[in-house]
Amino acid sequence: MTLDYVSIISDETSRIVGAYELDRRAAVPWSDRWTVATVARHVAATHHVLAEVVRGRPDADFGLFGELQSPPKDSPEFVEWFRSGTASLLEQLSSVPLDDECWSWFEPGRRVGWWVRRMALEAVVHRSNFRSLRRGRRRDRRIPRRLRRRVARCTPGPGRTDAQL
């Protein structure tokens, strides 16, 4: 079975937007500071910047965050800005060869294909923040088992650092 990472990014991001529209001020259970709006802003900003990283490959990098113009997370324009960043990212990830060189802080991940998988994992992880608000921490059966395993392997735990992922 092959996972359609672009569809996963699209579907999970739609759920994040839905959670934002439902209750953007809801607290995220694992954080004493983050809300649904904070997570949504993080995901939206990453989508905008990563779309530009892929477009400007191989030299564009996360320094683009310094140039990012974003509306406040509580503004009426936020949802459209979020959706436009996701659409741009999905367009880039769908139209660029997966083996094209692309910047990454992770040496083995310097290909567009790595970013496609990474962003699918990010979307699932961040959307799961909202699922725990409604139903506790039960496993989400809508997420394919293979992707749940990858999330588990790619989530820092006791004694694990990002460099080990």
Q: For residues 90 and 92, what is the distance between their CA atoms, to the nearest angstrom?
A: 5
Q: For residues 12 and 1, what is the distance between their CA atoms, to the nearest angstrom?
A: 19
The burial class, CB within 10 Å (0-12 / 13-18 / 19+), for 133 is middle
Evaluate if residue 165 carries a pLDDT over 60: no
Q: For residues 45 and 43, what is the distance between their CA atoms, to the nearest angstrom?
A: 6
pLDDT digits (tens, 9 = 90+) for 73-131: 889 999 999 999 999 999 999 999 999 999 988 888 899 999 999 999 999 988 887 76
The torsion angle over the Cα atoms of residues 19, 22, 26 and 30, rounded to 10 degrees, is -20
**Amino acid at the residue 84:** S
For the residues 124-148, what does the mean pLDDT come to?
60
Sign for the pseudo-dihedral over CA of 140, 24, 44, 77: positive
CATH of 5-155, one of 3.40.50, 1.10.287, 1.20.120, 1.10.3470: 1.20.120
pLDDT digits (tens, 9 = 90+) for 7-55: 999 999 999 999 899 889 988 877 788 899 999 999 999 999 999 999 9
